[in-house]
Amino acid sequence: MTDHDDALRRELGWTGPEDSDHEPPAAKPEPAHGPKPPAPSRPPVDFVPPDRGQGPSAEADDEHAAPPFVDPGRPGGSFRPPPPRYGPPPGSLRDTGPLPIANRPGRSPWRQPPGWQPPRAPRPVGQTPPPAQSLGPLTQPWKAPLYGPDPASAPPPPPASYADRIRVDELVPARRVPPGRGWRLALFRATFGLVNLGQSPDEIRQAELESKIKSLLRGHYKIGVMGKGGVGKTTVSASVGSVFAELRQDDRVVAVDADTAFGKLGSRVDPKAQGSYWELASDQHLETFADVRNRVGNNAAGLFVLAGEATPARRRVLDPAIYREATSRLDRYFTISIIDCSSTMDTPVTQEVLRDLDALIVVSSPWVDGAAAAGQTMDWLAARGLTNLLQRTVIVLNDSDGHADRRTRSILAQQFASQGQKVVEVPFDGHLRPGGVIDHTSQMSPPTRRRFVEIAAALAEYFPTRDDRSRERY
């Protein structure tokens, strides 16, 4: 092929092989009315056309549309989409492609199909991601994220049983307890039960004290009663024991006369009691409670009693060995024991009693001499290291003759209470003063019974919640 042919090939735009017989098509003559308008540009691949309606808004969108961009470098004047006007530069890591026309500022919004996400431009081969910028040292320790709802704010899980879902208190209306005394009871009876104002605050307090006395008790519980002679120590022992026996009918309560100076506890509970320490300790056939029942007496309240030596003709001295053997047999069948101690604290029997006590009652008269004797008793206990027992001690100011001064009783109560002791004032009761048998607490006046209930409730605060019968109480 000659040079003339090569020049002609280049002039005509021939690109085929030299040996081909192909000839380029002849150029069409241009129209006389002017150049041909360029073709519209091709939309991007990820372009989603907006929902255009009919009317002036659609025409306005067409007027503001970006003109097509003609690339003169491409053969035939091909078109390509215009470069994005907003966002990161093309080719960067955050480049998500051109922004659709309908989402550009000034354009009407268009709805994206569900799940649509803009495509992310691929990272050029060989390009590494830019290093992460350091945020500096953390000012707070890192905390692991919480997955799921907060346990504190989450509702409690439903009960596992369908029966637990049924709450009786929500279905059955609350019923007021009818009053037991006073004008509330009179109104309740006068209206034939139609007007029920419920119990008075005093009755509610009484019910709380009795509930405390009936609280859980594990093992044995022994209460000692100490005081100077003539202050009503034996009366307090029989009265407190009768309250426990009346309110704790599921447990057996026994009062033990440990006064070596001809104690009178048996005569205040059951004068017909035939047994004593020696018969109980020497009996080898105590296999059931019926066998023990024949050796002790009892009153109408359900309080049992182990009497002491009552006949002066056959004076038998109580020693610690006899006391220990007799009380160990009582512990098999009785839960609560009220032990009336001797007024002489240095006797061997009193020393044996103190080794096995859980709580203590110190009885004092509401006068200076009786209060001084009670103070000496407590000092004597503290000097022998019985501080734990002193913490479980209740002071009883017993007005046995009815001549106590109210001011003196108030001052003595404040002085004992300032040492951290529980103090209860028992008023004078004509039913208890002459002596005789304390059959039932109903014989007492209401104020006197209330005070003995308070004494029993104060002692019940120290009930052991676990079986500790093997521990050393001294």
Match 């009919």 to its residue by tokens.
54
Residue 104: φ, ψ to 5°? -75, 155
pLDDT at 236 over 90: yes
Of 8-12, 178-182, 244-248, the range with the highest mean pLDDT is 244-248
**Residue partners of 443: CB distance under 8 A and separation at least 6:** 431, 432
Sign of CA pseudo-dihedral 67, 68, 69, 70? negative
Assign residue 434 a region: left if phi > 0, alpha if psi is -120 to 50, beta otherwise? Answer: alpha
Greatest CA separation for the chain: 169
Average pLDDT over residues 312-327: 82
- pLDDT level of residue 335 (50, 70, 90 thresholds): very high
Q: How are the residues of the chain apportioned to helix, strand and coil, as percentages rounded to the nearest 5?
A: 35, 10, 60
User: What pLDDT score was predicted for residue 57?
Assistant: 47
Tens-digit pLDDT profile for residues 19-64? 545 555 555 555 555 556 665 555 555 555 555 445 444 444 445 4
User: What pLDDT score was predicted for residue 405?
Assistant: 83
Neighbours of 221 (CB within 10 A): 24
Match 């390509």 to its residue by tokens.
80
Match 């440990």 to its residue by tokens.
258
pLDDT at 86 over 80: no
Neighbours of 431 (CB within 10 A): 12
Name which residue leads in pLDDT, 221 or 125: 221
Q: Which segment of 157-166, 338-347, 442-451 scores lowest on mean pLDDT?
A: 157-166
Share of the chain above pLDDT 90, in %: 25
Give the chain's domains with CATH numbers.
176-213 (no CATH), 216-460 (3.40.50.300)
User: What pLDDT score was predicted for residue 170?
Assistant: 75
Residue 239: φ, ψ to 5°? -70, -45
pLDDT at 143 over 70: no
The rounded mean pLDDT for the chain is: 76
Query: What pTM was estimated for this model as a whole?
Result: 0.63
- pLDDT level of residue 106 (50, 70, 90 thresholds): low
